[in-house]
Structures are given as structure tokens and as C-alpha cells.
Amino acid sequence: MSECGAMPDTERSERRERLLVEALRGEVPAHVAIIMDGNGRWAESRGLPRWEGHREGAKAVREAVVASLEVGVRQLTLYAFSNENWLRPATEIAALMDLLVEYAASEVEELRERGVRVRVFGDLERLAPEARAAVQRLEAATGAGEKMSLNLAISYGSRSEIARAARRLVEQALAGALRPEEVDAERFARELYTAGWPDPDLLIRTSGEQRVSNFLLWQIAYAELLVTPVLWPDFDQTHFFEAVLEYQRRERRYGRVEV
Ligand code: FPP
């Protein structure tokens, strides 16, 4: 992916339009999932505290939502806070939680107007009551949105999600409501947080790390993986459309066989 940080505004917006038009000509991934990484490095490379990177990262979330709406992505799933993130210093956790609360308050109207439904998934019991209430208010206020779903993974880890699904199935079996032979992949998926959602078609990870970091391990079974060196706070609409174009190139190369 190209870096266009030094481009003048008009040139950047022309380039953005060009990429959007090009992306709209091909098959757009219905579901894009993103591991938003590199906020800390973005801040540190500027001599700023890490929370400044997260704040810029929240602006990039807005870019990704707008880009998704424009290109016709129906589901955008973002890894906003992992189970492992609970191990970070308390001040950084607090800054991330404050950002979530701020985001929920500042974006709710626009998300609702644009027809974006927000869904939050993960172990929300671990959130401070204020943060939990804020994201739940955001879900409730945007619940009627039909254009796109913005799915925020918060206090999320895929292994815990899978273990939770197994536990739920065992409970149903012990209660006599489920026979072991009824458990197959489809039945299992119905116990995940993502029950009923289509699997991601494209998984993007920013900042160059080539890992999946316990994100949607079950759901990304067939996703195209795209790692970009761009740090998350720099990831703008142009980068998003470039990712869609890269997905389309791969689709053409490995296109499904019509039967
Ligand atoms: C990884 O960067 C990113 C996170 C741990 C959190 C992502 C959060 C946001 C983008 C902002 C808030 C989100 C919403 C939905 C409003 P890192 O700190 O691991 O970066 P590093 O690897 O460079 O240290």
C-alpha cells in the first residue's frame, strides 16, 4: 500500500475518488474485519504519549466507517480492546475506556443518521459500569440502522469465545436439550458472539505485524488476510479502498468456480 501522507489535500481527495470508483467496479467484500494496530508506535515516533495514538486511532475508526459506507461494505468488525489489553498499565486502559465513552457519545447521531447499527461483543462484564453503559446506549440508539453493522470487539479474545461456546453447548447437553450428534460446525457457530453474522471476507491488520492475535479465529477460516505497514492512526479511506482493490485482485486470481 502506498503512503500518501505528504500529498496535498486536492491530490489526496482526487486519488481517494479514483480508488473508490475503481473499487466499486469489482466485488466488494461484504464483511471486513480489522486488527487496528500501531497506535502506540504512531505516538512514540512523534514523542507523544501512547494515549495520543489511541485518540488518533479513534479518528481512523471514523475513516474506516465512512469508507465502508461509501464502498458498500455491509459489516465492519473492529478489534477495539482485547482480553490481553487488560494487562496494559492502568492509565492506558483508562484512556482507552474514556475514548470508547467519548466515541459513543460523539458519533451516535451521525452513525444513526447514516444507518449504521453498532454491535458490541466480548466479555463486557469486565468493563467499568460507565463504559459498559455507554456502549450499550450506543447499541440501543443505533439498533435500527440497516445500511451497515459496525461490530466492536471489546474485552474480546477468540479462545475465550470458543471456550464459552463449548460451555454453552455442554450446559444444553446436560440439561437434556442437545444430543452430542447434533453438534456440528454450524451448531457450534450459533453459540459464538457472532452467531448469524456472515464470516469476514477480508481481514486487515495494520502496522506490519503478521499475526492474528486471538481475533475471530473461528470466523476467519476463509478470509483473505492483508497486512499493511501503515500504522492504524494513518490508515485513511485511501488505504481502505486500496485494501478492497487488493482483495479484488486476489478474488480474480483465486475466483470461485461456478457450479
Ligand atoms: C493497538 O495499538 C490498538 C489498540 C490496543 C486499541 C485500538 C483502539 C482504538 C483504535 C481507539 C478506540 C476505538 C474505538 C472504537 C473508538 P497498540 O497500542 O498496540 O500499538 P503498538 O503496537 O504500536 O504499541
190-203 tens-digit pLDDT:
999 999 999 999 99
Q: What pLDDT is attached to residue 254? A: 46
Over residues 118-126, the mean pLDDT reads 98
Q: How confident is the model at residue 2 (pLDDT cuts 50, 70, 90)?
A: very low
DSSP code at position 147: S
Domain parsing of the chain, residue ranges: 29-156+199-206+216-247, 158-197
User: Is the predicted pLDDT of residue 119 greater than 80, yes or no?
Assistant: yes
Atom index in ligand 1 nearest the CA of residue 43 equals: 23
Q: Which of 224, 229, 227, 233 is nearest to 252 (CA)?
A: 224
14-51 tens-digit pLDDT:
999 999 999 999 999 999 999 999 999 999 999 999 99
Check if 123 is active-site: no
Give the distance, in angstroms, between the CA of residue 227 and the centroid of all CA atoms in the same chain.
14
CA-closest residue to ligand 1 atom 12: 58
Atom index in ligand 1 nearest the CA of residue 58 equals: 11
136-147 tens-digit pLDDT:
999 999 999 999
Check if 85 is active-site: yes
Residue type at position 199: D
Ligand 1 centroid distance, CA of 135 (Å): 17
CA-closest residue to ligand 1 atom 22: 38
Q: Does domain 29-156+199-206+216-247 have CATH number 3.30.1370.10?
A: no
Instruction: Report helix angle 9-25 to 237-253, nearest 10.
Output: 30
CA separation (Å) from 3 to 6, 54, 70, 163? 8, 20, 21, 40
- To the question of pTM greater than 0.85 for the whole model, the response is yes
Q: What pLDDT is attached to residue 258? A: 60
Supply φ then ψ for residue 258, to 5 degrees: -75, 135
Residues in contact with ligand 1 (CB, 6 Å cut-off): 36-41, 54, 57-58, 61, 78, 80, 85, 96, 99-100, 103, 152, 207, 232
CB 157 within 8 A of CB 124: no
d(CA 188, CA 183): 6
Cα 132-170-160 angle, rounded to 5 deg: 40
DSSP code at position 126: G
